[in-house]
Chains A and B, each alone.
Chain A
Amino acid sequence: MKILYFAWLRAQLGMAEETISLPEDVNNLHDLIDWLRARSDVFYAAFSDMDVIRIAVDQEYVTENVPLKGVREIAFFPPVTGG
């Protein structure tokens, strides 16, 4: 599964995208966020306040916890500021 990071989240993590094999105990979005947080202090800090992070699953916004089975791409990013 591909994970994408944008804007200050990308800068803070020093990474625009990565491909991961989902660990067996990671079944849904909340599991994934917990798993990312546990990786390092940098990830923990970046994902500490989920109010400032928006999530897209296969390029569609999600606000609820969703199962990750069959998902190809997840993106984490700050609230958008275009226009």
Chain B
Amino acid sequence: MVIVQEATFDTGTEIKHLTDRNTQIGAVVSFTGLVRDFNDGSAIQSLTLEHYPGMTEKELEKIETQALERWDLTESLIIHRYGKMDLGDPIVLVITASAHRKDAFEAAAFLMDWLKTKAPFWKLEENASGNQNWVSERSSDIDAAEEWE
């Protein structure tokens, strides 16, 4: 399932919802991305995520479909937030559940690597003096995504 929302989320609650009463699941892996207080050596005060409503959901669904084709997953969930976030706030959540750990581990890594380079989101950082900066893409993210090609 794919959810794009402004509101925050709780990783623990989402894992519980996804795995509750499903006794086929033997392994659940989650990744939560948080707003950290630095980027490229500069201090950050807040982060705003802009996205492309409509295309964002489509791209995330395509990425999830890929994961479901490549790995044996019982459940999967992607939540990605947009809007203004404070330090420490969760930005993105990926949960994968499977019978055995390998599928869940690999699929979760794949989902994150692909969504970082394909889902139309953009980060705008703000520092303590109110200066804003659009985050640049990282070549390490592109390399990580290409390893799954």
Contact = CB atoms under 8 A, between A and B. Distances in A.
Interface of A: 4, 6-8, 10-11, 56, 59, 61, 75, 77-83
Contacts of A75: 52, 55, 120
Contacts of A11: 134
Contacts, number: 70
A83 B54 contact: no
B33 A81 contact: no
Contact of A80 (B33, B58, B112, B118): B118
B135 interface: yes
A56 B120 contact: yes
B137 A56 contact: no
B5 to A, nearest CB: 14
Contacts of A80: 116-122, 137
A6 B33 CA distance: 22
Given A6-B120, A7-B124, A56-B120, A83 B137 contact: no
A7 B55 contact: no
B36 interface: no
A6 B50 contact: yes
B49 interface: yes
20 contacts: A4-B52, A8-B134, A59-B55, A75-B52, A75-B55, A77-B122, A78-B137, A80-B119, A80-B137, A81-B122, A81-B136, A81-B137, A82-B51, A82-B91, A82-B115, A82-B119, A82-B120, A82-B123, A83-B91, A83-B116
B77 to A, nearest CB: 15
A81 B91 CA distance: 12
Contacts of B52: 4, 6, 56, 59, 75, 77
B33 A83 contact: yes
